[in-house]
Chain A
Amino acid sequence: MEDKLEIGGRQVESRLFMGTGKFADYRLIPEVIKASKAQVITVALRRVDFGTPEENMLNYLPPGIILMPNTSGARNAAEAIRIARIARAAGCGNWVKIEVVSDQKYLLPDNFETVKAIEVLVKDGFVVLPYMSPDLMAAKRMAEAGAAAIMPLGAPIGTNRGLKTRELIQILISEINLPIIVDAGIGRPSEAAEAMELGAAAVLVNTAVATADNPVLMAEAFAQAVEAGRKAYLSGPGATRHFAEASSPLTGFLRNERSESV
Chain B
Amino acid sequence: MPHKYREKTIIPTIMGGYPRPPWFAEYLKKLEGSQKENLKEISEEIEQRAINDILDEQKKAGIELFADGQLTWQDFLCHLCTKIEGFKMTGLTRYFDNNAYYRVPVVASKLELKDNMISDEFELAYKTQPQTKAVLSCYSIAELSKNEFYNNKEEVVMDIASIINGEAKSLVKKGAKYIQLDEPSLLQADKNDLEIAKEAIKKIVRGVDAKFFLATYYGDASNIFPEILDFNVDVIGLDFVEGYEKNLELLKEYKTKKEIQAGIVDGRTTKMEKREDVKNKINNILDCCDADTFFLSPNTGLELLPYVKASEKLMNMCDCFRGEKYD
**A, B from the same assembly:** no
- List the interface of chain A (C-beta within 8 A of B): none
- List the interface of chain B (C-beta within 8 A of A): none
